[in-house]
Amino acid sequence: MSSIRTRRVPTDRLTVQITETRDEGEPVVFVHGNVSSSAFWHTTLPLLPDHYRAIAPDLRGFGGTDPLPIDATRGLRDHSDDLAALLTALDVDRVHLVGWSLGGGVVMQYLCDHPAAVRSLTLVNPVSPYGFGGTHGVDGTLNSEDGAGSGGGTANPEFVTRLAEGDRGEDSPTSPRSVLAACYVKPPWRPEQEDENTYVESMLTTRTGDDHYPGDSVPSPAWPGLAPGTRGVLNCLSPVHFRIDALHLVDPKPPVLWIRGEDDVIVSDTSMFDLAHLGSIGAVPGWDGTPAQPMVAQTRHVLDRYAAAGGTVREVAVPDAGHAVHLERPEEFRAALLGILSA
């Protein structure tokens, strides 16, 4: 941990807080997930050999980066464009990208927008290329034209309240600490106490509200009665705003590593955060038979098309690990990551 440092970098879009290991070397950029910050990469960055320059930015609305509003109608392009502006400010032209969860969607979008600038792409338990919620089938078919079942209205309101109030306790299953322990990692594994506090504090940097987390929503005639709005982080992940349909068309095609914990309950074909799956098990009332989103199968479908079009893809499924596989199984993660960086 002593080998990393944090600073704020002005860009032509916003000022971004980054954590990095050194000023020189082959750049590797780590993009964090939702309700977190670059702190979730702090134990990963020092694992890289000295000839790599590890950089982990905070996305807008998280950590120490300027909390500018998120225009969800652009999908993840606000985040992708912020990343491009940061790399320009750092004078970095080509880069290895590593994206976890939400960050996986950000780096997929960046690859689509700047294929020649990407040396390799590593997806860590990534959000589906067809967004989060509101679709069925491996090709991401919408359950409803308005995206019902995705977006800002799908967040647990008690979790949002506890997040906004800075709840650091564990007396409720919806507290940030409880969600970290039950969903970010596979129980009963827990980070070391010091690190655990770091991660809870990281979660609590999340800006809440309609412009940030979770975002706004609108009524829908389709089950479950809510559709995505146009602002905030969950809406930028809605399939009506974010879809990676053409990854197989990018040129050139950098090698792709997809690494995931097999017991992930967040990004899963039976996600405990997908209202359709929750409805099917009786946790959300009034379920009308809307199918759960096959998130893992959708990612595999998109990456299979990428491989069939000439790209190189390696899938690594880590048993007995959850959503934060890079924290739970650091040595296996490091080995897989160094494999693609050296390739």
Q: pLDDT of 287-318, one tens digit each?
A: 999 999 999 999 999 999 999 999 999 999 99
pLDDT of 192: 77
Q: What angle (nearest 5°) sits at the alpha carbon of residue 305, between those of residues 112 and 299?
A: 75
Take residue 96 and report the two structure tokens written for it: 């290895």
**Lookup result for tokens 């095609």:** 253
- Report the pLDDT value the prediction gives residue 3, as an integer from 0 to 100: 82
Query: Which domain, by its residues, includes 173?
Result: 5-342
β-pairing verdict for 208-209 and 213-214: parallel
DSSP H or E run through 18: strand 15-20
The pLDDT of residue 194: 59
Q: If DSSP codes are grouped into helix, strand and coil, which group holds residue 261?
A: strand
pLDDT at 2: 54
Which DSSP letter does residue 265 get? S
What pLDDT was estimated at residue 174?
97
pLDDT value at position 321?
98
Q: What is the pLDDT of residues 3-33, one digit of tens each?
A: 899 999 999 999 999 999 998 999 999 999 9
For residues 233 and 53, what is the distance between their CA atoms, to the nearest angstrom? 28
Q: How far apart are CA 312 and CA 252, in angstroms?
A: 11
Q: How many domains, in total, are found in the chain?
A: 1
Q: What is the pLDDT of residue 197?
A: 80
- Side chain identity, residue 4: I
Residue 101 amino acid letter: S
Q: End-to-end alpha-carbon separation of the chain, Å?
A: 27
- Is residue 246 within 8 Å of residue 115, measured between CB atoms? no
| CA 296/CA 315 separation, integer angstroms | 11
Smallest CA-to-CA distance from 41 within 333, 326, 337 is with 326
Tell if the pTM clears 0.85, that is, is over it.
yes
Angstrom distance (rounded) from CA 109 to CA 126:
12
Stated as kind and residue range, the H or E segment containing 276 is helix 275-280
CATH assignment at residue 164 = 3.40.50.1820
**Sheet of strand 118-124: strand arrangement:** 5-10, 15-20, 52-57, 26-31, 95-100, 118-124, 256-261, 313-318
Only one residue has tokens 């970098």, namely: 9
For the chain, how big is the Rg over CA atoms in Å? 18
Query: How many whole angstroms from its chain centre is CA 281?
Result: 25
pLDDT at residue 343, as a whole number:
87
Structure tokens belonging to residue 135: 């679709």
The token pair that represents 89 in the structure block: 């400010």
Stretches in the chain below the pLDDT threshold 70: 1-2, 193-195
Give the closest residue to 18 by CA, choosing from 108, 73, 89: 89
Q: Which two tokens stand for residue 60?
A: 């807008």
